[in-house]
Amino acid sequence: MRRVAACLLVLLCAGCEPDGRPAGYVPDEARQAQEDADIALANQKAAPPAATTVGGAAPVAAADGDEGISPIPSFRGGTAQWHLEIQSVGDLRHDVTLRQGRASMRGTLTYHAIPGVGENGPFDLDGALYAPQGDAPMHVHLVHDACLDDAGAHGWKIQVYVDGQAPRDGCGDITL
């Protein structure tokens, strides 16, 4: 009987780590850190290479003459059902996070200047949203117009289009 109990104990612990956790167990914090690192790497790989010259990096010229500086340093907006955050990462590129319920997806966007448009927009950004079911093309349109929602008054209307999903309309603000 002791031998049977000892064999069962050895079999149960054979796949365990020294601290008693099952082999291959990854804590939630470590798993989230790895997912964040994977997303950052995907964003870095998806970003278009910067144009270079013999003397170094050359700025990307926007259509209205700006030297590749996005007029959208940061944007936060959405509705009670979804929330979008856009953060400039240099040149005309942006990181984007779309939250809906408990789901959070990240992606990258590039600002595309519209000829003749100044700092009051409208602004268009295109890119990709890295979704669990695969990357999806994404388009964001910002219009400088008063917008009212449950959170109060905002200075911008936003429209978000992601392939395979219903269009989203909401309000938000450009921040520095």
Structure tokens belonging to residue 103 = 């789901």
**Which whole number is the average pLDDT over 67-78?**
84
Helix (H) or strand (E) holding 144: strand 134-149
How far is Cα 77 from Cα 153, in angstroms, rounded to an integer?
11
pLDDT band at 47 (very low <50, low <70, confident <90, very high): very low
Q: What is the pLDDT of residues 117-172, one digit of tens each?
A: 777 778 899 999 997 788 899 999 999 989 888 888 898 999 999 998 899 999 99
Q: Is the pLDDT of residue 50 over 60?
A: no
**Residue with token string 């669990």:** 132
Q: What pLDDT score was predicted for residue 61? A: 40
Measuring CA to CA, which residue among 89, 80, 120, 121 is closest to residue 107? 89
Q: What is the pLDDT of residues 159-174, one digit of tens each?
A: 999 998 899 999 999 8
Q: Is the pLDDT of residue 176 over 90?
A: no
DSSP for 40-109, written as a single string? HHHHHHHSPPPPEETTEEPPPPPTTS--S--S-SEEEEE-SSEEEEEEEEETTEEEEEEEETTEEEEEEE
Q: What is the pLDDT of residues 16-37, one digit of tens each?
A: 555 566 656 656 666 666 666 5
Residue, of 176 and 46, whose pLDDT is higher: 176
